[in-house]
Amino acid sequence: MATMYVRRFSFKESLSDAQVVEEWKFLMNQALPAVEKVPGVRSCKAYWGAGGLRADIAVLIEMDDAGVYERLVADPGVRPLITRLYGSWDLKTATQAFRREVTPQVIAALSGTA
């Protein structure tokens, strides 16, 4: 079943504005394209909120199913990039969530009407 992985974070306050711009370039030009190449990933996009380009950032990864996440973090093209990403994020405030697509089949199964 389709699954959405949502990772919210802010860049570390210790980064200069120039470093934040470099991390955005890395995220957009290297990390997200590498994630999109993992089998089972449907799309991967970054969004920002009220914090400008430094805070309240969300990366949304739409996957065929939740099992794709394990392949993603183990993928040899993605794994080394994760270290750099985590090095620039404020992990004390970062969050992650998985959301599964609601389908008629899920509603039927959960309601006992299947």
CATH number at residue 104: 3.30.70.100
Residue 3 Ramachandran class (φ > 0 left, ψ -120 to 50 alpha, else beta): beta
Q: What is the mean pLDDT of residues 9-28?
A: 97
> Rounded to two decimals, what is the model's pTM?
0.88
Order of strands, edge to edge, in the sheet holding 3-9?
41-48, 57-63, 3-9, 95-100
pLDDT of residue 114: 63
Give the rounded distance of the alpha carbon of 38 from its chain centre: 13
Above 70 in pLDDT, residue 59?
Answer: yes
Q: What total of structural domains would you count in the chain?
A: 1
By the 8 A CB rule, do 91 and 13 touch? no
Q: What's the domain range around 34?
A: 3-111
By the 8 A CB rule, do 59 and 30 touch? no
